[in-house]
Each structure stands twice: as structure tokens, then as C-alpha cells.
């Protein structure tokens, strides 16, 4: 019985439950949503590494669920953040958002436990379609456009991923999902994974769409897509040198754009790119310590980034604004929100006794063990930028600074409840990191509270704070638009639409009209071919084309007019038989 229960995919709980939500009473829907992650977590706790669930499909045996320690670590944190997000949005989420969030969480779990490439692709595309609904649920013009761009980009990435899977199937004859070697198929699959991981220049969909999601949608979006991509990268491309430098580039790139950003949720979105860079770099290094570090940092990042998006969402809900130049002085009205946000800010900045301190530094430590000095230096530089914008710039210009231009409304209790639980988890991991380390794929042998690490971290944090204090006037937000890689497809969008959609539609319309006219002509001629030919050959007077009484109006075509008599046709048929008989007779005489 225990084995039967442990073989049930936790993704099934979210997907089936999400599809059943609309038939429940309205008041029961958010309560039922909270039940899904609890049940899924219970299933995960009973799962043992090595457990498989296979399903026959055509000539293949699909491994729809394969449990290992890597997948379990991601599965645990996915269910935890789904529960926290459900509490946070308890009084805000409608049935549409609840269904989308449930399918999104379930498909993300399906990705991290997928044992074959076909199953992975199905969950991959479900994740894209369900997540875009959390953007569209805001029902604004900006969210509609951002959601459409998000969907187009992810469907393109899914198409490339499918091409890689089919190429891999042709080369190997297997759909089993494991470590991949080089070759065209592997690089196509890598492209699909890298797009979801937001590796530059494939990243702009993230900063473009996440800020336009609903208040609660941003929390779920920050958790699943990029981290599910990190998990499959670790499973398939561990040790690829290309990923080391891609991750470092992400870490620096995201920090630079976050420092320049004026919108608080867009700032946090850019910093997702930076933090995922640490994970991608860890996957590229590929050692056991590096994979543990990437997994630990993904685990902690989901929790503290979710808390940060909760804080930013509370500001958006209360003040109706999200730009730094339109905020300020809100601390007197939202002191509890500020306090809880700062727990997330200290966590992401790597303060001692917070979750980021025990997770992010493990990736840097793995780079040190692998003698990668430049990687260590650049990741430290990205860490400085993290505290600068997320821990100092955003809270200062949002809650402090000038007097508020708007009096915020009250934040619902459910939002604060979700933030409290997220803050407790982040502090708990920072104080007792063994809770996290015991969940990692390998036996982590890392001591985060070594004196060297403590001294180094404190120095970096104090120097960053000093720099912010000296340059605070230069770091305030600017009401401008940040140009990023999305400019490459947003700027020529109208021209591309005209060429790829409007002109193609016109061409198809012309082809359709031509086909219809040809069909009408053939139909009319087929009724009475002889009569139709005689009508066409009838002489015309002057310039009047076959008109009635010499007018320009064409006469009505009557298929019975000039129809050949049936007796004449019988004679013609008999004559044909006579001719054929004569030909056969003559042929028999002269063989």
C-alpha cells in the first residue's frame, strides 16, 4: 500500500484538483487550493529515490515519474511555495487564478520528475500555457500584450525543444531523459532549457511579463519556470563549460539592469535573472558541491524571492502604484510589510542567519574548489549589486524618502500571513542550515559559518551600505523606459505582423476567392457544356458583351437553353458503338 501511494505523481494532485476547482462553491475554492500542496508534500515525504511510474505509449515505455534526490529537493520547495502563495492570495485570487496557479505548480512538478523527454515536453508546454493565464488575469492592456509576447516566446522555445527531442529520438531510438552529450539534438534541447532559465539574450520575456502579472501571480511566476529549467539543466547538462560563463553573465547582467530599474516588480524580475545565474554557473561547474550549491540556492531563492514579490505586491495592492518615482514615505502606514520585506532582502543579500547566506555562498565555494578565480570574483561583484538594489534602493525609495503622494489602503490579513510564514522559513534555514543540506542531492560538506566567510560577507555588506549612503541621490529611480533585448522583437513588431500575418492573410483570401470563382465556373459549365459553349460563342453587338437587348447587363445563364436533344445524343452514342465495332472487326482481319 505504501509503495502504491508513493508512486502517485504529486503533479497529479495539483492538475486534477485544479480542474475540479470550478465545480466547488466559491468560498471553498481557496481552501481546497491549500489542500493540494499539503497532499502533494505528503506524497513526496513518502517517496523513495528510485521509484518509477511507467506508462506504455505506442512503441515506447514512458517514465512519467522518476524520483531522485534532485527532483525531491525541487519538489519540496515547489509545494511549500504553492502553499505560501495560496495563503498570501487567499482573499484575492478568483477561480481563474486558482486554476491557473494549480496547473502551473502541477506542471512544474511534472517537469522535475519527468523520466522521459516526451512527458517532460507535455508538462513543459502546460507550464507555459498555465503561467500566461496569471499574466492575463490582471486584465489590463499592458498585461494582455505582455502575456501574448510571453506566450509567443515560450511556444517558440517549446518548438525548438521538440525539434531537439525528435532529433535525439532519431539518433538514439530512446526517449529516456538523462545526461546528454554534444551534438545538434543536445544543443536544440539546451536552447529550449536556456530560454526558460532566462539566459541572456533569451531572457527579456521575464522582465517584460512578470511585472504585469496579478499581485499573487507574480509570486507563483517567480518560483516555478526558471527553477524548473535549472533542475532539468542539472539533470542533462551538468559540467558543460558553456553554462559556467552563461551563469556568470546572467549574474552580472541582471544586477546591472536591476540597479537601473524604476518599477519595483521589474527590478525584482531582473534580479531573478541574476540569481538564477548562480545556479546555472553551479550546474556548469558540475561537481557534487556545485550541484548541491545550485540546488540549495534554488531552494532558498524560491522562498525569499517569493517573499520579496509578496512585499512588492502588497505595495501595489495598497498604493496602486509600483514605480519608485511615484512611491516613498509609506513606512508609517505599512511598518509590518516593511519588516517582512526586509527579511527577504537580508536573505537574498546573504546576511548571516538568513537563508541566502547558507545557499548562495555554496556555489562560490564550489568555484573556489575548482580553482575558478574569475568566476569567484564576478559572483562576489554580483552579490554586492544584490544588496545595493534589493536591500537598499528598493526599500528606501519605496517606504522611506519623500512624503507619500497617496495614502495606501489596508493590506489584507492573508497577505501578511503568507509573508510571515515565508519569513519564518527563510530565517529557519539561515539559523539551522542542516534542514536544507539534508535535502540536497549529495552529502553536503560545507560550513557556511566559518570565520573567513563571516568576515568576508560583513565587509562586503558594510562597504555596499556605505556606497549607497554616499551615492543615494544618484541611485533614485528615473521615470524612463529601459531598453533591453526585447527591443529586437518589439520594435519591428508591426512590420513583422504585416509581413507574416496581414500579407499572408491577404494572399490566402485571394487564393480562396480564385478557387471559389473557378468552382462556380466549372459548376455552371458542367450542367450543360454544349449550351454554355454556344452562349460564349454567340456574337455580340458593338461593345455589349452578350447583353439582353443590346444593354451592358449580362444575360442570365439558363442551363436548359440550347440543350442538345436527347434523341440526338442517343444517335451519337450508337454511332460511337458502330465505329468501335468496325474498328475491332478490321483489327481482327489484319492482326
In a domain, 271, yes or no: yes
Judge if 48 and 112 occupy the same domain: yes
Q: Tell me what the mean pLDDT of segment 474-502 comes to.
A: 72
pLDDT above 50 for 257: yes
Per-residue pLDDT band for 274 (boundaries 50, 70, 90) equals very high
The per-residue pLDDT for range 70-93, each reduced to its tens digit, is: 999 999 999 999 999 999 999 999
Higher model confidence: residue 350 or residue 494? 350
Phi, then psi, of 327 in degrees rounded to 5: -115, -175
In a shared domain, residues 290 and 437: yes
Is the peptide bond preceding residue 482 cis, with omega within 30 degrees of 0? no
Tell me, yes or no, whether 463 and 372 share the same domain: yes
Q: Does 533 or 164 have the greater pLDDT score?
A: 164
What is the rounded average pLDDT for all residues in the chain? 87
By C-alpha distance, which of 177, 180, 36 is closest to 113?
177
Domain boundary among 212, 237, 262: 237
20 pLDDT higher than 80: yes
Average the pLDDT over 324-336 and give the result: 86
Region 512-531: mean pLDDT is 80
DSSP secondary structure of 156-175: HHHHHHHHHHHHHHHHHS--
Q: Are residues 248 and 223 in the same domain?
A: no
Q: How does pLDDT run across 532-570, given as a tens digit for each residue?
A: 676 666 655 544 444 444 444 445 556 665 566 677 777
With a cut of 80, say whether residue 404 has pLDDT above it. no
The pLDDT assigned to 34 comes to 95
User: Is a pLDDT exceeding 70 seen at residue 460?
Assistant: yes
For residue 2, what pLDDT is reported? Answer: 45
Q: Are 379 and 274 in contact (CB under 8 A)?
A: no
Residue-wise pLDDT for 201-211, tens only, equals 888 899 999 99
| Predicted pLDDT at 561 | 59
Report CA-CA distances (Å) from 104 to 276, 550, 551. 19, 73, 70
Average pLDDT value for residue range 481-493: 72
Spatial distance between the Cα atoms of 566 and 587, rounded to a whole number of angstroms: 32
Give me the pLDDT at residue 3, please.
Answer: 56
Distances from the Cα of 414 to the Cαs of 27, 86, 93, 135, 418, in angstroms? Answer: 15, 9, 11, 21, 6
Nearest of 156, 165, 167, 170 to residue 125 by alpha carbon = 156
Judgement on whether residues 311 and 223 belong to the same structural domain of the protein: no
* Statement to judge: residues 257 and 302 lie in one domain: yes
Contact predicate 21/98, CB 8 Å: yes
Q: Which three cell numbers stand for residue 298?
A: 534554488
Digit-coded pLDDT (tens) for 216-250: 999 999 999 999 999 999 999 999 999 999 999 99
Question: What's phi and psi for 554, nearest 5 deg?
Answer: -65, 140
- pLDDT tier at 581, thresholds 50, 70, 90: confident
Cell of 244: 559556467
pLDDT of residue 563: 61
Alpha-carbon span 276 to 272, nearest angstrom: 6
Residue 558: per-residue pLDDT: 61
Query: What is this structure's pTM?
Result: 0.83
297 shares a domain with 230? no
pLDDT (average), residues 477-489 = 71
Q: What percent of the chain has pLDDT over 70?
A: 90
3-state secondary structure of 53: strand
The mean per-residue pLDDT over the stretch 500-518 comes to 86
Task: Please give the average per-residue pLDDT across 3-32, as a whole number.
Answer: 87
Which structural domain, as residue segments, surrounds residue 18?
Answer: 10-237
CA-closest candidate to residue 21, choices 105, 124, 125, 132: 105
- Residue 190's pLDDT is 96
Give me the pLDDT at residue 415, please: 94
Among residues 218, 237, 256, the one where a domain terminates is 237
> What is the structure's pLDDT at 57?
84
More confident residue, 193 or 472: 193
Count of domains forming the chain: 2
What's the whole-number mean pLDDT along residues 166-186?
A: 91
Instruction: Check whether residue 230 and residue 254 sit in a common domain.
Output: no
Instruction: Judge whether 559 and 524 are in contact, CB under 8 Å.
Output: yes
Are 36 and 63 in a shared domain?
Answer: yes
Are 251 and 233 contained in the same domain? no
Q: What is the pLDDT of residue 296?
A: 94
Residues 335 and 278 in one domain: yes
Amino acid at each position: 500500500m505504501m509503495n502504491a501511494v508513493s508512486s502517485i505523481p504529486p503533479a497529479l494532485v495539483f492538475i486534477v484538483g485544479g480542474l475540479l476547482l470550478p465545480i466547488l462553491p466559491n468560498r471553498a475554492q481557496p481552501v481546497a487550493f491549500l489542500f493540494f500542496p499539503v497532499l502533494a508534500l505528503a506524497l513526496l515525504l513518502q517517496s523513495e529515490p528510485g521509484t518509477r511510474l511507467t506508462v506504455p505509449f505506442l512503441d515506447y515505455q514512458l517514465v512519467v515519474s522518476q524520483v531522485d534526490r534532485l527532483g525531491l529537493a525541487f519538489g519540496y520547495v515547489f509545494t511549500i511555495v504553492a502553499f505560501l502563495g495560496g495563503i498570501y492570495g487567499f482573499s484575492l485570487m478568483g477561480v481563474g487564478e486558482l486554476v491557473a496557479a494549480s496547473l502551473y505548480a502541477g506542471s512544474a512538478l511534472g517537469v522535475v520528475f519527468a523520466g522521459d523527454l516526451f512527458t517532460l515536453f507535455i508538462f513543459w508546454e502546460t507550464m507555459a500555457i498555465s503561467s500566461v493565464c496569471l499574466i492575463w488575469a490582471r486584465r489590463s492592456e499592458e498585461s494582455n500584450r505582455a502575456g501574448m509576447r510571453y506566450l509567443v516566446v515560450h511556444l517558440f522555445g517549446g518548438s525548438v525543444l521538440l525539434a531537439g527531442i525528435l532529433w535525439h529520438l532519431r539518433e538514439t531510438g530512446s526517449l529516456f531523459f538523462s545526461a546528454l552529450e554534444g551534438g545538434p539534438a543536445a544543443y536544440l534541447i539546451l536552447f529550449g532549457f536556456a530560454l526558460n532559465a532566462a539566459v541572456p539574450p533569451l531572457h527579456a520575456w521575464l522582465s517584460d511579463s512578470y511585472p504585469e502579472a496579478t499581485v499573487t501571480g507574480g509570486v507563483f511566476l517567480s518560483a516555478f519556470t526558471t527553477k524548473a529549467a535549472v533542475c532539468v539543466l542539472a539533470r542533462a547538462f551538468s559540467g558543460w563549460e558553456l553554462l559556467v560563463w552563461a551563469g556568470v553573465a546572467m549574474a552580472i547582467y541582471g544586477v546591472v539592469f536591476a540597479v537601473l530599474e524604476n518599477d519595483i516588480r521589474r527590478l525584482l524580475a531582473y534580479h531573478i535573472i541574476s540569481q538564477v545565474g548562480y545556479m546555472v554557473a553551479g550546474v556548469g561547474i558540475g561537481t557534487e558541491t556545485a550541484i548541491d550549491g545550485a540546488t540549495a540556492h534554488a531552494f532558498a531563492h524560491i522562498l525569499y524571492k517569493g517573499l520579496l514579490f509578496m512585499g512588492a505586491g502588497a505595495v501595489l495592492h495598497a498604493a496602486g502604484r509600483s514605480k519608485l518615482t511615484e512611491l516613498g514615505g509609506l513606512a508609517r502606514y505599512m511598518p509590518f510589510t516593511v519588516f517582512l520585506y526586509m527579511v527577504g532582502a537580508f536573505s537574498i543579500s546573504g546576511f548571516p542567519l538568513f537563508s541566502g547566506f547558507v545557499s548562495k555562498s555554496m556555489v562560490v565555494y564550489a568555484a573556489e574548489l575548482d580553482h575558478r578565480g574569475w568566476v569567484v570574483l564576478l559572483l562576489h561583484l554580483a552579490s554586492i549589486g544584490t544588496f545595493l538594489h534589493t536591500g537598499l534602493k528598493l526599500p528606501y525609495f519605496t517606504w522611506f524618502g519623500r512624503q507619500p503622494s497617496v495614502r495606501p489602503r489596508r493590506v489584507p490579513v492573508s497577505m501578511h500571513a503568507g509573508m510571515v510564514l515565508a519569513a519564518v522559513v527563510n530565517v529557519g534555514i539561515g539559523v539551522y542550515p542542516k534542514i536544507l543540506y539534508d535535502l540536497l542531492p549529495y552529502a553536503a560538506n560545507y560550513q557556511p559559518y566559518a570565520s573567513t566567510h563571516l568576515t568576508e560577507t560583513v565587509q562586503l555588506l558594510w562597504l555596499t551600505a556605505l556606497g549607497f549612503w554616499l551615492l543615494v541621490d544618484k541611485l533614485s529611480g528615473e521615470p524612463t523606459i529601459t531598453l533591453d533585448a526585447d527591443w529586437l522583437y518589439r520594435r519591428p513588431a508591426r512590420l513583422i505582423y504585416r509581413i507574416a500575418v496581414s500579407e499572408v492573410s491577404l494572399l490566402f483570401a485571394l487564393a480562396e476567392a480564385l478557387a471559389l470563382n473557378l468552382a462556380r465556373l466549372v459548376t455552371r459549365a458542367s450542367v450543360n457544356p454544349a449550351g454554355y459553349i454556344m452562349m460564349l460563342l454567340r456574337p455580340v453587338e458593338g461593345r455589349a458583351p452578350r447583353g439582353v437587348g443590346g444593354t451592358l447587363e449580362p444575360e442570365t445563364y439558363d442551363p436548359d437553353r440550347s440543350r442538345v436533344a436527347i434523341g440526338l445524343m442517343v444517335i451519337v452514342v450508337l454511332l460511337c458503338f458502330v465505329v468501335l465495332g468496325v474498328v475491332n472487326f478490321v483489327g481482327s482481319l489484319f492482326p
